[in-house]
Amino acid sequence: MTSDTAKDPKLYPVLRNLQFSPIKQGEDQFIVLWDPSGLSKEKLVLPLNYFFIVQHFDGEHSLLEIGGLYLKRFGEFLMPSKVEQLVEDLDQKLFLEGVKAESARLRLRDEYRQAPLRKAAFAGRSYEADGAKLKKQLDGFFTSEEGPDFKPSENQGKPIRGLVAPTYDLKQAGPIYAWAYKELQDSEQPDVYVVFGTAYAGLDNLFALTDKDFETPLGLVPTDQPIVSRLKECLPTSFEEDICHQVEHAIEFQLPFLQQIVGVKKPFTIVPILTSFSAASLLDATVRQAVDQFLAGLRAVVNETGRTYCVIAGAELAHLGMRYGDKAPPTDFSFHRSMQFDLEMLKPVEELKPDDFAAYIQKEQDQRRISGFSSIYSLLRLIQAEKGQVLRYDRGITDQYNSTVTYASMAFF
């Protein structure tokens, strides 16, 4: 077999970095696939036997080999015409790596770079799209039973250095966000906010900056152009994947709180940074060097302005259940055990020890899939604070199988 044949995407298809989730219709179980990068707007519902097929679209297995594996697994012959049609359908939906997906990616990137701003992508879906209704919704997060009370923070009037807030849907997790932003409300507020958000679709360069201002139903959130321009000079590769900002929600979900709490009092700017690397990847010297280089450069640029700043990390913690790769749904026992691990894991975060935080997850081998690691780690490497504190902890249920995401709010002074 020649190397040219081995690279033929029609014979050796490569599935893009998609997300999937099990769904149940009556007694039947299916898998739904979608693209977290937003390149494809499609969703595809597959029966389990077809999901078995696409799981082997890794560029290493030929269609012929996949047919043999299918026969061994299901005891029936896989018609070549069916799998060829599946490959064609996935390619049309931009679910496969190849010419179509790359052309679409370049076209979307150009459109984003030419756009005057980054539009609100989740208004009307995850939070209210009308400005007046959104203000009322935000107020409700603070006054709900799960939200913070009106008692002044013990850190009232102190300069705030950092926050950790969820990235989960605001309609469900809003009161947990409110615990973090109540601390910001009561503190001495800076003018600049470095906002790290988790890039759920992944990043080749570990960090992605954008120079776009962000639109929300409450108006425009300006990106700090002087800081961003300096970062473009010092860290140019961190702007190569700026298009990912168009569809990622982690930063967008923080902005209405900043507008409602800070923006009503004074102007402020943000430095929006998406990030994606694991605790285990820091054991790789190349990755560690890239992370160190970016964070050192960012710290130098922000500090040279002489302005005070607060670092915000939009981050989720554990991901449990079949949606995230477990073989069975979580039980009450497994959730409470995970909660204990989460709070134990956050101790070195409270103590401002980023490498101990990484070591905890490395020791666990990231079995609980801590998606917000890179945002929290970056915050710890950037801030100069005396203490951190977990304010509130909770979870969200993401599907019919009780798949669970955990998250917390934290503040640093």
Of the pLDDT bands very low, low, confident and very high (cuts 50, 70, 90), residue 9 is confident
Q: Is the pLDDT of residue 3 over 70?
A: no
Q: Which amino acid, residue 411?
A: A
**What residues does each domain of the chain span?**
3-106, 128-412
Distance CA 265, CA 345 (A): 36
User: What is the average pLDDT across 392-408?
Assistant: 95
pLDDT attached to residue 233: 97
Q: What residues have CB less than 8 Å from 121, skipping those under 6 apart? A: 246, 247, 249, 252
Share of the chain above pLDDT 70, in %: 99
CATH label, 128-412, candidates 3.40.830.10, 3.40.50.11290, 2.102.10.10, 3.40.190.10: 3.40.830.10
CATH no., domain 3-106: 3.90.930
Distance of CA 138 to the CA centre of its chain: 22
Q: Is the pLDDT of residue 35 over 80?
A: yes
> What is the CB neighbour count within 10 angstroms for residue 269?
19
Q: Are strands 404-412 and 388-397 parallel, antiparallel or unpaired?
A: antiparallel
β-sheet bridge partners, residue 119? none
Q: Is the pLDDT of residue 282 over 80?
A: yes
Share of the chain above pLDDT 90, in %: 91
Through-space distance between the first and last CA atoms of the chain, rounded to whole angstroms: 62
CA distances from 84 to 12, 44, 72, 100, 367 (A): 11, 16, 19, 17, 35
Q: Is the pLDDT of residue 2 over 50?
A: no
In this structure, is the dihedral angle defined by the CA atoms of residues 110, 115, 117 and 118, taken in order, positive or negative? negative
In degrees and rounded to multiples of 5, residue 11 shows phi and psi of -95, -30
Of the pLDDT bands very low, low, confident and very high (cuts 50, 70, 90), residue 15 is very high
- Rg of the chain over Cα atoms, rounded to whole angstroms, equals 22
252: tokens are 């967008």
pLDDT tens digits, residue range 42-56? 999 999 999 999 999
The answer to whether 264 and 188 are in contact (CB under 8 A) is no
302: tokens are 């922000």
Mean per-residue pLDDT over the chain, rounded: 95
User: What is the average pLDDT across 357-384?
Assistant: 97
CB-side exposure of 356: number of CA atoms within 13 Å?
10
Distance CA 394, CA 378 (A): 22
pLDDT attached to residue 6: 52
CB-side exposure of 204: number of CA atoms within 13 Å?
6
**Reduced to 3 states, what is the DSSP secondary structure of residue 3?**
helix
β-sheet bridge partners, residue 404? 320, 397
Of the pLDDT bands very low, low, confident and very high (cuts 50, 70, 90), residue 274 is very high
Distance CA 277, CA 275 (A): 7
pLDDT attached to residue 1: 43
Of how many residues is the chain composed? 413
Of the pLDDT bands very low, low, confident and very high (cuts 50, 70, 90), residue 151 is confident
Distance CA 141, CA 136 (A): 9
The answer to whether 292 and 300 are in contact (CB under 8 A) is no
